[in-house]
Structure 1
């Protein structure tokens, strides 16, 4: 089970995340949704401030997992998409159209999907006896996990939306995953 973190200023401003904390509104939204989080045998969170803050606001006793770090956007980290698009239109076009491109000096989309897939596969090996795993992860990591789990073509990554504070559930096993998409974690659930 994957939970996307609550909103923060970087998301509202359409920035390549960097490592921005939750703002007050994001903390309140996560706290209000805490009672809707499903039970799990193992709880993890990506190492970003936003993932850790969301896990904390949801009341989870989650461990940080380095393999669940957000997409490494290199020198674009923390910058607005509009700014980068205006200054480097060819680089942004290559990044959006070529899964192996990393004009920002960080991770390519192929590398992100491979890393997320390796984590999912290793989680299965580690939990061979069963058990539910819940992880608070950046939306890009959730999308990459889905590309791997469902054996989608890598460009499908760009067609998957993972809104803030939603639960994405995978069940089954490697090679045969079932997906339950984007159930909102909200006070009304």
Structure 2
């Protein structure tokens, strides 16, 4: 492990610790995972960016129906590429130490497929399709489910806002435990 530690300067490690919910040890372990994912030869350059599909091969994401959206949201340039800093952000948000508010912020953006800062019927249909996979609902079943979700959560009739979404998640104690994985 001393070998991996030399990749970072003391200042870089301190910065990463201050900017994430990760410990120094987790940051070094994250680098090892990064190297394993992108290949040791290309990973020495910490600013290099790699295709999102490489990151989607992580065991924690590989079978997640939202893996494409997750890597898209954590790609700082939204260009189909992920850098080490993006990877650290992902691991930080998914850590046990990240607060509910931060997890809710990212979950909201993962579900906001059309990027209009509201979860509307279009977004909810994508979420339902992602969750049901091969077992697609009939259009009328999907509409009924979307309408019920909007009726229950959308307080002002304009779509589910970030605040309404956060409020919903405070009533879902399992969310914070399921929206996570370890370094």
Query: Does 1 or 2 have the higher relative contact order (CA < 8 Å, sep 6+)?
Result: 1
Q: Which protein has the larger Cα radius of gyration, Structure 1 or Structure 2?
A: 2
The TM-score, its normalising length taken from structure 2, stands at: 0.26
The TM-score, its normalising length taken from structure 1, stands at: 0.26
Point out the structure with the larger helix share: 2
Point out the structure with the larger strand share: 1
